[in-house]
Structure 1
């Protein structure tokens, strides 16, 4: 069997999903306000904890189309990534449904 770099081996295996995450934040069925509050709470708490992976699950689009939480939650997570609160952010693989795989950065090391 040929040897692949870890990056390419992960591409062949597929994206990281719900089974790879240390915890799951299930926002299926949540209102937009509740979902946004849950994401903010998770992000705020992560700043004082250890590095952790979380699968964020969202409802699929309703039959016939319509708005989902994907964009507003995605924007909040992207903003947190820009702030350095998230180390890794990607969508869940198709078999896991709509959502994100997030690696929270955790509390920064206090070296001085």
Structure 2
């Protein structure tokens, strides 16, 4: 889109989702403890690897309401973003369901 800055062009294109990610971490149907362990494992491993885009899929709220993994997973991802382990953090677009799209920062380059 030559007439828009990249930021605004991306707004028209819509959010990045599952098909844009290099891998998918599917946490649907897992317990909170297993989900938190999976997120921590992904974040720890990412610190020694190349940058990577990951879609994290979560269960929708149960019928009639109830808790989901959205808040605890989101908090862990936000903490990792503050530490510099995540370059980009956003929710998945509605058509992909509940979850997050993250770009892991990867291994930091060594200064000369």
TM-score, normalised relative to structure 1 = 0.97
Structure 1 ranges of 4+ moved more than 3 A: none
Once the 2 structures are TM-superposed, how far is the Cα of residue 4 of structure 1 from its aligned partner?
1.5
- The residue that corresponds to 2:49 in the other structure is 49
- The residue that corresponds to 1:15 in the other structure is 15
RMSD value, Cα:
1.1
Secondary structure of the equivalent of 1:12?
helix
In structure 1, how many angstroms separate the alpha carbons of the residues matched to 2:10 and 2:36?
30
In structure 2, how many angstroms separate the alpha carbons of the residues matched to 1:8 and 1:96?
21
In structure 2, how many angstroms separate the alpha carbons of the residues matched to 1:39 and 1:64?
27
TM-aligned CA distance change 1:63 to 1:107, over 3 Å = same
TM-aligned CA distance change 1:2 to 1:80, over 3 Å = closer
In structure 2, how many angstroms separate the alpha carbons of the residues matched to 1:25 and 1:19?
13
In structure 1, how many angstroms separate the alpha carbons of the residues matched to 2:104 and 2:86?
4
Gaps of 5+ in 1: none
